[in-house]
């Protein structure tokens, strides 16, 4: 059980294609996931991908009841998602603000699919198959992008809506570390 260092943008390990996980229910995998939750909770993250702590595997975690970094966000079920596959459920795209623990202090407006289906397995190899929309869908897309070496600034289309949290949202609780 430990809080791990989060890699920051510029580290080439954040730009790799992550490898699929093939063995489930192992002590090593359980320990890794425990560390990821400890790390995410220590910085009030909405999600975390294994490559962000330097582990190049297709594993993301996300979920919260209430999140201080996104105070207006509805609850998202706490989830361990491995080897995910995402499929949009419509052509609809929506824009909203995003941040990333690997890009501290900044926020940008990112276009994402509004509704999607995601499929994968949990740490025991049990199938996860869900439809999601809104912030839930956004978090899944953001975290799964990390597994393809994509950070949210790479998806920004309008750089006039990209900047420092304390300048964009003065006095907001939506702070970053």
Please give the positions annotated as active site.
143
Q: Select the residue whose beta carbon is closest to Ni ion and give its number.
A: 100
Residue 32 makes contact with Ni ion by CB under 5 A: no
Helix (H, G, I), strand (E, B) or coil at 61: strand
> Rule CB under 5 A: is residue 174 a binding residue for Ni ion?
no
Q: Does 106 bind Ni ion (CB under 5 A)?
A: no
How far is residue 138's CA from residue 59's CA, in Å, rounded to a whole number?
17
* Closer residue to Ni ion (CB): 24 or 33: 33
> Which among 33-41, 64-72, 94-102, 132-140 is the span making contact with Ni ion, rule CB under 5 A?
94-102
Give strand pairing partners of 108.
98, 162
Interface with Ni ion by CB under 5 A: which range of 25-33, 76-84, 99-107, 127-135? 99-107
Nearer to Ni ion, 18 or 100 (CB): 100
**Contact status: 100 vs Ni ion (CB under 5 A):** yes
How many angstroms separate the CA atoms of 84 and 177, rounded? 28
Q: What DSSP assignment string belongs to 71-135?
A: TTPPPEEEEEEEEEEEEESSS-EEEEEE--TTSTTEEEEEEEESEEEEEEE-TTS-EEEEEEEHH
**How many helices and strands, by DSSP H and E, does the chain display?**
3, 8
Shortest reach from residue 132's CB to Ni ion, in Å: 17
Name the one range near Ni ion by CB under 5 A: 22-30, 97-105, 110-118, 127-135. 97-105
- Report the nearest approach of Ni ion to the CB of residue 21 (Å): 19
């Amino acid at each position: 059980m430990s809080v791990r260092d989060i890699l920051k943008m510029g580290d080439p390990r954040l730009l790799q294609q992550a490898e699929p996980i093939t063995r489930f229910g192992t002590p090593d995998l359980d320990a890794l996931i425990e560390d990821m939750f400890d790390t995410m909770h220590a910085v009030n993250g909405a999600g975390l991908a294994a490559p962000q702590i330097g582990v190049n595997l297709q594993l993301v975690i996300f979920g919260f009841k209430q999140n201080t970094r996104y105070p207006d966000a509805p609850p998202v079920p706490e989830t361990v998602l491995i080897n995910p596959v995402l499929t949009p459920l419509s052509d609809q795209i929506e824009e909203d603000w995003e941040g990333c623990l690997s890009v501290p202090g900044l926020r940008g407006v990112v276009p994402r699919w509004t509704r999607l289906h995601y499929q994968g397995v949990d740490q025991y190899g049990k199938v996860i198959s869900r439809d999601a929309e809104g912030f839930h869908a956004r978090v899944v897309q953001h975290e799964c992008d990390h597994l393809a070496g994509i950070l949210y600034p790479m998806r920004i289309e309008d750089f006039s809506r990209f900047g420092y949290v304390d300048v964009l949202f003065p006095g907001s609780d939506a702070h970053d570390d």
